[in-house]
């Protein structure tokens, strides 16, 4: 990457001069991670034991991206009294800075260790008597100093003692049963030993509402962080995260039971509800890294980004290819570290922008759309596919009339894919509890393959509504072998017929077309396919083939699948 061109610098400096001493938020990226005492041989200095164990369970090696940013670089920047270091990112090897004066911004180009920088949000004016280093607390040189007492601990508590093997869902009954969540709950799986990081806009009154007493009493709120306003009070901010958390962890005896009462939670504020700038994607990145560091298994993200208050930051549909936006890249990295990332698809379905937001487009995100109480898609649920043609959203759950806990200690109905996502995230924790040796990818694939439209997905429903009872059987093993992995759509063949098949991972395959005498008629070679379901339409010239029965052989790296095709 290269540093911003000088003409852009001049434009920004002019803007700064017109603002006076108003600070702006600047993202910088570093050339390397030199001048650091951190080493992959001592991961306990920057990762919790749970984070290390998650990698070990899934055979994920430590790498360069696990190493924190060079403390020397952060300390050098923080020594400038016009700069406050808000947080750093080991995955992107960068940092978020609050820069007050134009001359300080200009000095960024003098640091040889900075490879790139961009302004990501203007800030309102500061009182003249307020020093930059007092903004939101002290300077944050390094975000990887841990208090071991804050990490997850095992608590000798069984959810079954409360529910006698079966809960009284109360107002939440329909939303859980729509995905057959009771199949896991009735067996005693409520997400115990699983940690969910909730990345949202705030958690107003979670510390005082009776509906969350259960989590506090069982020590299942592991901690909280504010990446929007470091040092701020997440319990005095926006209530969106409160409603989202309640879908998973809320409990009013006899009136309401969330989907994952046995799970533990980190509450991370990354969204600034008062504005929309690209800085919030970087906040999400920092939150996801923190979730990784403390050993979270699942991230629930009921957030999405496409348009910003600064039109220059807007994304186009072509950017939603799963690997371009800041937040999609962050979600992909989180997934690569063994975390299951569950994202709301978005509520743009009835607007001119109909498509999913980001990170729902990410390769590493399980995007969840919304249905009504009967399982029919609601019109506001964002549609796919991703810009590169992948099925999005992957699955659906109730997103209209979802029962949540409100701010007056009772229940209310809420609309939005913000609430279908935590239903799936919560049930995923329950599923993963039953299969603790499964990888995040295996859990995600089981959820997808359990869905009611998994062999005929589309851009509206994705693979459909998951069935967590069936997902249990898929992960168990024998049932999986009975599921059709490949099929032909429109058979007998027509020019528009498609071969649909499931790939266990990204790979290169070939497809053979064989006649009834065992002769290979033609072959498609070097087909690049993605993990999940894929479609190929190779029958445009089918008219030249003689009538009869043929065999389509799909050659994967470690197996072959055979399908019978009929030509009339």
The full DSSP string for 274-317 is T---THHHHHHHHHHHHHHHTT-SEEEE---BS--SSGGGPPPG
Same domain, 552 and 435: no
Instruction: Flag whether 149 is in a domain.
Output: no
Dihedral class, residue 242 (left if φ above 0, else alpha if ψ from -120 to 50, else beta): alpha
Token pair of 262, please? 């046995």
DSSP state of 547: S
Query: What is the bridge-based pairing of β-strands 411-414 and 402-405?
Result: antiparallel
Token pair of 476, please? 């168990």
Domain boundary, last residue among 481, 514, 531: 481
| Cβ(295)–Cβ(194) below 8 Å | no
Q: What's the rounded Cα separation, in Å, for the pair 244 and 477?
A: 33
Q: Would you state the pLDDT for residue 23? A: 78
Same domain, 445 and 516: no
Range of the domain at 85: 6-144
Same domain, 562 and 531: yes
Q: Which of 312, 550, 238, 265 is nearest to 429 (CA)?
A: 265
| Cβ(332)–Cβ(323) below 8 Å | yes
Same domain, 252 and 377: yes
For 101-165, give the DSSP string: SHHHHHHGGG-TTEEEEEEEEE-PPPPTT--GGGTTSS--S-S----GGGS-------THHHHTT
Q: Which of 112, 134, 155, 116 is nearest to 23 (CA)?
A: 134
The per-residue pLDDT for range 386-435, each reduced to its tens digit, is 999 999 999 999 999 999 999 999 999 999 999 999 999 999 999 999 99
Same domain, 272 and 380: yes
Residue with tokens 């701010």: 407
Q: Which of 345, 347, 322 is nearest to 394 (CA)?
A: 345
Instruction: Flag whether 293 is in a domain.
Output: yes
Domain boundary, last residue among 481, 509, 529: 481
Instruction: Flag whether 155 is in a domain.
Output: no
Query: What is the bridge-based pairing of β-strands 24-30 and 114-122?
Result: antiparallel
Instruction: Flag whether 154 is in a domain.
Output: no
Q: What's the rounded Cα separation, in Å, for the pair 505 and 502?
A: 9
Residue with tokens 């498509």: 355
Instruction: Flag whether 151 is in a domain.
Output: no
Same domain, 295 and 245: yes
Same domain, 126 and 260: no
Q: What's the rounded Cα separation, in Å, for the pair 469 and 162?
A: 22
Q: Would you state the pLDDT for residue 34? A: 94
In this prediction, the residues of the chain whose per-residue pLDDT falls under 70 are 1-22, 123-167, 477-485, 532-533
Q: Which of 206, 202, 226 is nearest to 215 (CA)?
A: 206
Token pair of 126, please? 């500061």
DSSP state of 349: T
Instruction: Flag whether 436 is in a domain.
Output: yes
Same domain, 88 and 228: no
Q: What's the rounded Cα separation, in Å, for the pair 26 and 3?
A: 13
The per-residue pLDDT for range 162-192, each reduced to its tens digit, is 444 456 899 999 999 999 999 999 888 999 9
Q: Which of 131, 192, 142, 118 is nearest to 162 (CA)?
A: 192
| Cβ(392)–Cβ(386) below 8 Å | yes
Q: Which helix (DSSP H) or strand (DSSP E) does residue 223 occupy?
A: strand 221-226
User: Which residues have CB under 8 Å from 309's CB, separation 6+?
Assistant: 275, 276, 277
Instruction: Flag whether 382 is in a domain.
Output: yes
Count of H helices and E strands in the chain? 15, 22
CATH number at residue 366: 3.40.50.200
Instruction: Flag whether 156 is in a domain.
Output: no
Find residue 562's DSSP bridge partners. 553
Q: Would you state the pLDDT for residue 64? A: 95
CATH number at residue 510: 2.60.40
Query: What is the bridge-based pairing of β-strands 365-371 and 340-344?
Result: parallel
Same domain, 461 and 521: no
Residue with tokens 């001119």: 352
Residue with tokens 């978005």: 346
Q: What's the rounded Cα separation, in Å, for the pair 96 and 86?
A: 5
Rounded CA Rg of the chain? 25
Domain boundary, last residue among 481, 508, 532: 481
User: Which residues have CB under 8 Å from 211's CB, separation 6+?
Assistant: 246, 250, 251, 252, 256, 405, 409
Same domain, 173 and 76: no
How crowded is residue 538: how many other Cβ atoms within 10 Å of its Cβ? 15
Find residue 104's DSSP bridge partners. none
Q: Would you state the pLDDT for residue 7? A: 33
Question: What is the tally of structural domains in the chain?
Answer: 3
Q: Would you state the pLDDT for residue 68? A: 96
Same domain, 64 and 187: no
Residue with tokens 């909280």: 224
Same domain, 238 and 354: yes
Q: Would you state the pLDDT for residue 123? A: 59
Q: Would you state the pLDDT for residue 532? A: 67
């Amino acid at each position: 990457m290269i540093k911003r061109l000088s003409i852009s610098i001049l434009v920004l400096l002019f803007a700064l001069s017109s603002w006076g001493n108003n600070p702006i938020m600047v993202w910088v990226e570093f050339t390397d991670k030199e001048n650091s005492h951190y080493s992959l041989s001592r991961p306990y200095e920057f990762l919790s034991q749970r984070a290390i164990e998650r990698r070990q369970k899934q055979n994920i090696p430590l790498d360069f991206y696990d190493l924190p940013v060079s403390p020397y670089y952060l300390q050098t920047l923080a020594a400038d009294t016009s700069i406050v270091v808000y947080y750093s990112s080991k995955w992107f090897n960068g940092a978020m800075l609050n820069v007050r004066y134009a001359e300080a911004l200009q000095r960024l180009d003098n640091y040889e260790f900075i490879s790139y920088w961009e302004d990501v949000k203007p800030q309102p004016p500061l009182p003249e008597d307020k020093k930059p280093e007092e903004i939101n607390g002290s300077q944050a040189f390094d975000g990887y100093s841990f208090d071991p007492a804050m990490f997850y601990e095992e608590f000798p508590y069984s959810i079954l003692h409360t529910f006698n093997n079966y809960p009284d869902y109360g107002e939440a009954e329909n939303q859980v049963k729509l995905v057959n969540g009771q199949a896991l709950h009735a067996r005693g799986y409520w997400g115990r030993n699983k940690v969910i990081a909730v990345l949202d806009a705030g958690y107003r009154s979670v510390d005082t509402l009776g509906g969350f007493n259960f989590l506090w009493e069982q020590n299942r709120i592991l901690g909280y962080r504010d990446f929007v306003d470091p040092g701020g009070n997440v319990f005095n901010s926006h209530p969106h995260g409160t409603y989202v958390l309640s879908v998973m962890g809320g409990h009013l005896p006899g009136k309401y039971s969330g989907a994952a009462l046995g799970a533990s939670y980190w509450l991370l504020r990354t969204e600034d509800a008062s504005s929309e700038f690209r800085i919030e994607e970087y906040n999400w990145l920092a939150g996801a890294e923190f979730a990784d560091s403390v050993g979270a298994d699942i991230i629930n993200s009921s957030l999405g980004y496409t348009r910003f208050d600064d039109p220059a930051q807007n994304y186009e549909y072509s950017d939603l290819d799963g690997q371009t936006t800041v937040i999609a890249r962050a979600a992909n990295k989180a997934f690569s570290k063994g975390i299951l990332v569950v994202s709301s698809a978005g509520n743009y379905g009835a607007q001119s922008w109909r498509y999913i937001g980001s990170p729902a487009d990410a390769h590493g995100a399980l995007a969840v759309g919304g249905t009504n109480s009967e399982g029919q898609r609601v019109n506001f649920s964002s549609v796919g596919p991703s810009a590169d043609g992948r099925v999005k959203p992957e699955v659906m759950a109730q997103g209209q009339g979802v029962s949540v806990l409100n701010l007056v200690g009772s229940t209310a109905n809420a609309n939005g894919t913000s609430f279908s996502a935590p239903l799936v995230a919560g049930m995923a924790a329950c599923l993963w509890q039953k299969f603790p040796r499964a990888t995040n990818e295996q859990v995600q694939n089981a959820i997808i393959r359990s869905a009611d439209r998994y062999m005929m997905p589309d851009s509206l429903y994705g693979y459909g509504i998951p069935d967590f009872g069936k997902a249990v059987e898929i992960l168990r093993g024998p049932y999986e072998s009975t599921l059709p992995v490949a099929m032909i759509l429109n058979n007998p063949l027509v020019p528009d017929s498609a071969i649909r098949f499931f790939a266990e991972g990204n790979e290169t395959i070939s497809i053979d077309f064989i006649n009834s005498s065992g002769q290979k008629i033609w072959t498609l070679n070097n087909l690049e396919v993605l993990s999940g379901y894929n479609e190929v339409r190779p029958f445009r010239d089918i008219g030249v083939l003689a009538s009869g029965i043929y065999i389509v052989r799909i050659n994967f790296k470690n197996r072959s699948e055979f399908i019978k095709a009929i030509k009339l």
